[in-house]
Structure 1
Amino acid sequence: MEANTNADTIQVVATPSTTTTSPQPPEYGIIAPAEEEVEYPRTRNVIFIMLGLHLATFLVALDRTIIATAIPAITNDFDSLGDVGWYSSAYLLTNCSLVVVYGRIYSFCSPKAVYMACILLFEAGSAVCGAAPRSAILIAGRAVSGTGSAGIFSGSIIIMVHTVPLHKRPLYMAMLGSMWGLASSVGPIMGGALTSRLSWRWCFYINLPIGAIAFLVVGFLVTIPVPNRGGPALSIYEKFARVDPLGIVCFLPGIVCLLLALQLGGSTYAWNDARIIALLAVFAVLILFFVVVQVVKKDTALIPPRIITHRTIAAGAWFAFWLGASMLMLTFYLPIWFQAIQGVDAFGSGVRVIPLVLTLNLFSITTGILMRFTGYSAPFMLLSSVLMALGTGFITTWTVHTPPAKWIGYQVLYGAGIGFGLEQPPLLAQTVLSKEDIPVGASCIVFFQSLGGAIFTSVGQNVLTQHLASSLRAMPELGLSAADVADIGATELRKLVEPRHLEALLLAYNGALVKVFQVAVGVACATIIGAASVKWVSTKKGRRLSRQILVIQAPRTEQREKTEPNAETV
């Protein structure tokens, strides 16, 4: 036992096996949380491991956007215009619905083995897509890729937990999260370049060598203890039971029904169509049963209630849901605005969203550096909510003739907001949960972030279609319907009308996109509830390895002498 004293503070440091007592009143004592002792890899190995994790995460993020500019070429090859929606939906359905399942699997299986299996699945799906002889095979490959990608981002977080101490993770988390912003910008550019210079198939083949590097880095350098090591070995049946099969039977079909309703509603079928209503009804019933199963099974549930009802995890999931919704809406519809209103191609629109991407990455990394000193996520989340709301609010003022200074400046403001908050929710899960619970907690947050993006991308599409249809009906001289505009796409918009009617068409399209941006404003404002609700917990507790620190703020010396003349200093 060691004791340090000064006039105002007595600090007692003890190892976990030592009993520490103090004569001071208990109301002055605060026990800081302790982390178990962990031997982390050497710095050189950490650099290579993080490189592998960043490459894998970048591929997952890139796969969502790179296909956008390749779709016209794919539909020409396969004559499959009716399948266009499924090229993204097949990936989204498996990716979003399986994230939480992987979180549960990571909690009792070898994280390294599961992560490498996810990379293999993702690579296999990419190979199938690249070699697909017909549209149905391509869709199947996209579903396989989504199955693998569902476990990669949450797996990257889990491997990072075992690679870097907590107080150093904010910077690495920020760099990991910046891969999403980077992929959103370069995806369409890379897709367009590969499609025009080589073939659309290289949009999928490019994943193979990069994924192989990530696979080899993780295989040779990552060393992670298997959960439950030292305890009784689990049989196959016990492992299967721990995945909560009953919960999965309710959860997976329920989420698939919701996503299908969002993908098909308002486009393929009307919202009041019996098929869409049936999908939403099945979703509601299955999720209700899922909640009941989770409450009954408690700690053996797919999402243990004690984790998701934890104040900070619930608030972080709320924040992640609305942030994911806002970010995906803007990264999806800003390029459309540039293509439709300014008449640029996919490459040009990708270049014009660089201010958003650069700012997002810059402020994300800056936040990671600042958190090395502050340790708290809550203030950055609050700042994120304010800047996101301001940025999207200013974006709603865009017109057909908005000058570059404004569309660049407003993107910078919004990008700063996303950068401050993007990686805070997963980091909070690592801060407030034990290592055994981090896989489930982090996966829940990743799931809600993905779900928010999936829901509000569809909401944005319906808002755009409805308002565009309303505007076009008010301009019969154009002779156009919303379906005519949607079928030809944003890049070909100017070919639909004569030059004398172009200004009116652009005004109608801009007005519809502004309505989408207004939805994004409300979504961004909703994040403030989560930001204001998280606990102010510090990542700096990660510095206190293998020991507990009892800090006693004692009364001033003269006051102690008067009230406790016989007390001994410990």
Structure 2
Amino acid sequence: MGAHSTDDDTVAPSLNATEQYVDKEKAGAEQPELSKIVSRGGNPPENEIVYPTGPKVILIILGLMLAVFLVALDQTIIATAIPKITDRFKSIADIGWYGSAYFLTSTALQPTFGRIYKIFSIKGTFLTAIGLFELGSLVCAIAPNSTALIVGRAIAGLGVGGIFSGGIVILAYVLPLQKRPLAFASIASMWGIASIVGPLLGGAFTDHVSWRWCFYINLPLGAISVAVVLLVLKIPREANPEGLSVMARVRQLDLIGASILIPAVVALLLALQWGGTKYAWNNAKIIGLFVCFGGLIIIFIVTQWKLGEAATLPPRILKQRTVLASLLFACFFGAAFFVDVYYLPIYFQSVKGSSATKSGIQVLPILLSCVLSSIISGGVITAVGIYTPFLIGGMLLFAIGAGLITTFEVDTNSARWIGYQVLAGFGVGVGFQVPILAVQTVLHIDDIPVGTAIITFFQSLGGALFISVGQNIFSNGLKKGLETYIPELPSAVFLFSGATEIESILARLGLPERIGDVRQAYMVGLKDTYRLDVALVCFAFVAACGLEWKNIKAEKQKKEAEAKEKGIELEPALAVA
């Protein structure tokens, strides 16, 4: 793009446009101070953006909701299909990788996407991310083996790294801060709705068509989202205010930081995935991976500190109290949520003997309550303006529900497993939207792309790491349970088979009467995994207590007062075309 090219190739404010906002009589000596309030990086002042209204804003929000629904559906539809996939590829040991490969690439790229959204076209970057996700979905749909499926999940993860954070960044240019909570709730509710539709659809595809349709379904949905964003979205931002070449802007992406962070995350993930299962914890390979991770992270921290504002994770932003508390919360909350998503269906299919479709129905309590909670909390936060107490209360409910889920047994009745899921779900619904809302409240609009990417990065990092940890705990617990309840059989018979093949394996061995013992063994592994979930929620609760108690309505008034105090003449910014 040439100088002053815009984010959407339509009329947008130039750098000179920001000069309108400076009172002519005070422009001289006060200009450095005023730069804290007037636009930076091609953005008009946040409180003077003229946002789209009417059908246009509705279409944009619907397009963003569909994009997030696409990602959420992909993450939840596979849960009920995983047992059948393990049957097809004889790959129960790969369960963790189906999620971890996906989270690994999405996690490692999210901080870089934050920089990309800040430096390049927001609209173009968002569409590119959807394209990568679609490509990964196609690879998964035609995968001939478990390895190919894992590769496809990794490619899809590349796109996911930019879809969710991009949607939140776009929202900052579509709605003013005080109106965003309800929009956040609507977008966050897509996770809940997809979590309802996903397991049911995944179960139906798996039982009646093929698990491959769990991935084919992404292709038409993605096409609709692309069409809406391409035709309707306009961003009132200077995309390249300095007139830099493409390569010059690429060099601003902190490629050094990304090249250090990606192998660091890979090393940690491999150590957690292999430790205690493929290799002993004191094995030289596991120790080497941890040492590699530690060394790379130290180098990464040093480079980020030296790069300052050009860093992938700018220290100035990370030192802000609410940002720090939000990223810690996002990490533990994301981990807890995805451990539930992956291991509740295994309880119903392996222990309760349910079909994929039925298990999708059986996890509806946690998902429906999640959607309801998200919408209610979003509406209430929009009305009252404060958000921190809702997050703290939500984590209390999540912790209680998660704790009760650890009491599941082979014969747990429906009243209990429904009620416990409902409690947990009401807590989960609040957790998706508040951290991002909090970060957008305390940061300048120029910092929102990076701040949003930081939160989504740590949420995905938590999911990637602790799905692997959960897999490790589950496998070790299952092995321990098998050695306790059915010691005459080698544990590998079940560890390297499908999660729904218990009855057929016992029938082949002439031991159908031992079904109860094997299910008890599964409960040992699942209970250990659910205890991990409780610990993660407790850490998320502590992090939630660290958020500042801000009021989004008061923040808007504060910005207007500051502008008036500094003598800024607040003329209308250019409208969104």
Distance (Å, rounded) in 2 between the aligned partners of 1:404 and 1:77: 30
Q: 1:186 aligns with which of 197, 200, 203?
A: 197
CA shift for structure 1 position 130: 3.3
Q: 1:306 aligns with which of 310, 316, 337?
A: 316
- Change in Cα spacing, 1:124 to 1:545, as seen in structure 2 (3 Å) is farther
- Aligned twin of 1:396: 406
Q: Identical aligned pairs, as a percentage?
A: 45
- Aligned twin of 1:323: 333
Partners of 2:365 and 2:418 within 8 A in 1: yes
- Aligned twin of 2:131: 120
Partners of 2:92 and 2:496 within 8 A in 1: no
CA shift for structure 1 position 437: 0.6
- Change in Cα spacing, 1:481 to 1:182, as seen in structure 2 (3 Å) is farther
Q: 199-208 vs 154-163, which deviates more?
A: 199-208
Counterpart residue identity of residue 387, structure 1: L
- Aligned twin of 2:514: 501
Partners of 1:35 and 1:545 within 8 A in 2: no
Partners of 2:87 and 2:500 within 8 A in 1: no
Tell me, yes or no, if structure 1 residue 217 matches structure 2 residue 228.
yes
- Aligned twin of 1:176: 187
Distance (Å, rounded) in 2 between the aligned partners of 1:295 and 1:375: 35
SS state of the match for residue 150, structure 1?
helix
CA distances 1:441-470 after superposition (whole Å, capped 9, x unpaired): 111111111111222222222222223322
- Aligned twin of 2:477: 467
CA shift for structure 1 position 234: 1.8
CA shift for structure 1 position 307: 0.6
- Aligned twin of 1:97: 108
CA distances 1:101-124 after superposition (whole Å, capped 9, x unpaired): 101111111111100111112222
Distance (Å, rounded) in 2 between the aligned partners of 1:184 and 1:118: 22
CA shift for structure 1 position 360: 0.4
TM-score (norm 1): 0.84
Partners of 1:469 and 1:481 within 8 A in 2: no
Tell me, yes or no, if structure 1 residue 108 matches structure 2 residue 106.
no
Counterpart residue identity of residue 242, structure 1: Q
Partners of 2:86 and 2:497 within 8 A in 1: no
CA distances 1:292-318 after superposition (whole Å, capped 9, x unpaired): 001111111111001112100000111
Tell me, yes or no, if structure 1 residue 286 matches structure 2 residue 291.
no
Partners of 2:395 and 2:427 within 8 A in 1: yes
Distance (Å, rounded) in 2 between the aligned partners of 1:118 and 1:68: 23
Tell me, yes or no, if structure 1 residue 533 matches structure 2 residue 533.
no
CA shift for structure 1 position 274: 2.9
- Aligned twin of 2:495: 486
Counterpart residue identity of residue 189, structure 2: S
- Aligned twin of 2:72: 61
Partners of 2:264 and 2:293 within 8 A in 1: yes
Counterpart residue identity of residue 38, structure 1: I
Partners of 2:207 and 2:357 within 8 A in 1: no
Partners of 2:51 and 2:174 within 8 A in 1: yes
- Change in Cα spacing, 1:170 to 1:481, as seen in structure 2 (3 Å) is farther
- Change in Cα spacing, 1:194 to 1:339, as seen in structure 2 (3 Å) is closer
- Change in Cα spacing, 1:533 to 1:18, as seen in structure 2 (3 Å) is farther
Aligned residues: 524
Q: 133-142 vs 122-131, which deviates more?
A: 133-142
Q: Please, which runs of 5 or more residues in structure 2 have no aligned partner?
A: 1-20, 27-36, 38-44, 566-577
- Aligned twin of 1:433: 443
- Change in Cα spacing, 1:550 to 1:148, as seen in structure 2 (3 Å) is closer
Counterpart residue identity of residue 485, structure 2: M
Partners of 1:165 and 1:542 within 8 A in 2: no
Partners of 2:481 and 2:520 within 8 A in 1: no
Tell me, yes or no, if structure 1 residue 351 matches structure 2 residue 364.
no
CA shift for structure 1 position 100: 0.9
- Change in Cα spacing, 1:363 to 1:262, as seen in structure 2 (3 Å) is same
Distance (Å, rounded) in 2 between the aligned partners of 1:473 and 1:256: 32
Distance (Å, rounded) in 1 between the aligned partners of 2:95 and 2:266: 18
TM-score (norm 2): 0.84
Q: 83-92 vs 139-148, which deviates more?
A: 83-92
Partners of 2:140 and 2:152 within 8 A in 1: yes
CA shift for structure 1 position 430: 0.8
Partners of 1:69 and 1:346 within 8 A in 2: yes
Partners of 2:275 and 2:281 within 8 A in 1: yes
CA shift for structure 1 position 492: 2.6
Partners of 1:111 and 1:226 within 8 A in 2: no
Distance (Å, rounded) in 2 between the aligned partners of 1:146 and 1:361: 24
Distance (Å, rounded) in 2 between the aligned partners of 1:127 and 1:450: 22
Counterpart residue identity of residue 381, structure 1: L
Distance (Å, rounded) in 1 between the aligned partners of 2:57 and 2:434: 21
SS state of the match for residue 500, structure 2?
helix
Q: 456-465 vs 70-79, which deviates more?
A: 70-79
Distance (Å, rounded) in 1 between the aligned partners of 2:181 and 2:202: 31
CA shift for structure 1 position 283: 1.4
Q: 87-96 vs 399-408, which deviates more?
A: 87-96
- Aligned twin of 1:338: 348
Tell me, yes or no, if structure 1 residue 240 matches structure 2 residue 253.
no
CA shift for structure 1 position 479: 2.3
- Aligned twin of 1:458: 468
Indicate the RMSD between aligned Cα atoms, in angstroms. 2.9
Partners of 2:84 and 2:211 within 8 A in 1: yes
Distance (Å, rounded) in 2 between the aligned partners of 1:448 and 1:70: 26
- Aligned twin of 1:515: 528
- Aligned twin of 2:10: none
Tell me, yes or no, if structure 1 residue 44 matches structure 2 residue 55.
yes
Q: 306-315 vs 336-345, which deviates more?
A: 336-345
Counterpart residue identity of residue 476, structure 2: Q
Q: Please show how residues 252-291 of structure 1 align to structure 2 within 5 Å.
A: 252-291=262-301
Counterpart residue identity of residue 313, structure 1: V
CA shift for structure 1 position 279: 2.2
Q: Please show how residues 3-14 of structure 1 align to structure 2 within 5 Å.
A: none
